[in-house]
Chains A and B, each alone.
Chain A
Amino acid sequence: MPKPALLSSEQMAQFASRGFLMMEGVVPKRINDQFLNDIGKVPESEISDPMSYYGKVMGTSAIPVVNAGVPLSEAYPDENAITKMLALPKVAGAVKSLVGDAPSFDHHFLHMTFPPSFYEASSRPQASQHWHQDSTIDPRQAFDVQIMYFPHAVTAKMGGTRYLPGSHLRIVSEAAIGRYQNIKGQQFVTCKAGTLLFMHMGIWHGGGLNLSNKVRYMFKIRMCPTERQERLWDTSDLGNDHHEQRPIFWTGLKGKTNPIHEMLTTPEPWFEYDTGRLEYINRVLFWRYLLGDDSFDADYWLTRVENEYA
């Protein structure tokens, strides 16, 4: 089996800062086709509403029913499309970098987003899904990863998953954020077939409104680490200057310096002025956790408030 292609430090820093990594079209057509053939699709003409479609697909799908807590490596049969997807070097490398060698399986689910025709006979109006954070309040520094697998191309009309970069470190209670409708910087997945989105479990997200004439599929797998998530990626590219501080605010005309420091202190369009600074602090704390090194800082955000004398 080819060696897993571990993530680089910049990719990890992007994950730490923004809460996701996108791998566009990384899953080849043969696996996407197998997955779509195996999910138990039924002719859309035979279905009257979303719930009966779900029922029929769940009843005939080759997607296995797996107990929570099973090692991820044992969750899928050898010839299953997901086994093949997880074995791709870039995918295996990302999983190993984020949740280690032996992650456990939490759950998986085939999400389906239905076109307007499925709602015509129903009293339920078609609507996008509210913003939410999965599971429940989760204040850990350890983190689970969710892979969102888009087995077919997703166009803007198909209402691809909406997500909010940088929201993963906000501690909220699941759908309590449903009151928000639009947030500056929100993203919508439009992608090639075989795209994967690796998400920190805390990312705010929701399903979009499918205005096409086809059902949209997205398969999500949640996995949990069974080890401390420290330096699991390829750290060989961490420069000697990784701990070096740079000028703050009054920076002259000098260009950008350390890209990892830069990522950890780049705001998202939706950051409030004051809590944006707390986001930098939380990103630095998260990066310290990943590095296993409490002396790391970027732009003095933590050093300044830790400068205390007994």
Chain B
Amino acid sequence: MTAKLNQLSVRQQVMVLYTANSALDTGVIAWSFYDGTGKTVHMAGDQNDPPYRTGLDALLDGWRLIQASPLISHVSGDEFRTDYLKYEFFFEKMIEQVVQMEGL
């Protein structure tokens, strides 16, 4: 027979901010959230206002920066080409939560 056990576990929340240039203290132009706690669900087009004015504001609110897009040289002959949003910053928060585990 198995029993359900409550256990403290850690889940990751990920926030991605896209800024107007490569500095973290410039304005946010696009953003995404992925919530590993399962408490909130986010999807395309669900918000019209950025969660933070700048990337620096996110740091001040406790988000940890885990990845920033590098600055890439422009390919000769293709300097005017534009494609993906250029300045991407991944942040995380680790959230403790009680989860139910199967136990003996």
Which of A180, A184, A274, A278 has a CB less than 8 Å from the CB of B21? A274
Which of B46, B48, B84 has a CB less than 8 Å from the CB of A172? B84
Interface residues on A, range: 35 or more
Provide the main secondary structure of the chain B interface. Answer: loop
CB distance from A210 to the nearest CB of B (A): 12
Q: Cβ of A298 < 8 Å from any Cβ of B?
A: no
Contact A183 B29 (CB under 8 A): yes
Which of B44, B48, B86 has a CB less than 8 Å from the CB of A128? B44
Provide the main secondary structure of the chain A interface. Answer: loop
Residues of chain A within 8 A of B82, CB atoms compared = 169-171, 275, 278-279, 282
Interface-side segment among B3-11, B30-38, B94-102 = B30-38
Q: Cβ of A261 < 8 Å from any Cβ of B?
A: no
Residues of chain A within 8 A of B83, CB atoms compared = 170-172
Contact A182 B31 (CB under 8 A): yes
Query: Complex: how many Å from CA A179 to CA B44?
Result: 9
Residues of chain B within 8 A of A289, CB atoms compared = none
Residues of chain B within 8 A of A129, CB atoms compared = 44
Q: Cβ of A273 < 8 Å from any Cβ of B?
A: yes
Query: Complex: how many Å from CA A131 to CA B43?
Result: 10
Q: Cβ of A269 < 8 Å from any Cβ of B?
A: yes
CB distance from A126 to the nearest CB of B (A): 9
Contact B44 A278 (CB under 8 A): no
CB distance from B87 to the nearest CB of A (A): 6
Contact A181 B86 (CB under 8 A): no
CB distance from B43 to the nearest CB of A (A): 5
Q: Cβ of A130 < 8 Å from any Cβ of B?
A: yes
The contact string, 1 if C-beta is below 8 Å from chain B, for chain A 278-301, is: 110110010000000000000000
Which of B30, B80, B86 has a CB less than 8 Å from the CB of A184? B30
Q: Cβ of B81 < 8 Å from any Cβ of A?
A: yes
Query: Complex: how many Å from CA A275 to CA B85?
Result: 9
Which of A127, A179, A184, A278 has a CB less than 8 Å from the CB of B32? A179
Query: Complex: how many Å from CA A127 to CA B41?
Result: 10
Q: Cβ of B91 < 8 Å from any Cβ of A?
A: no
Q: In chain A between 167 and 206, which residues have their CB closer than 8 angstroms to a CB of chain B?
A: 169-172, 176-184, 186, 188, 206
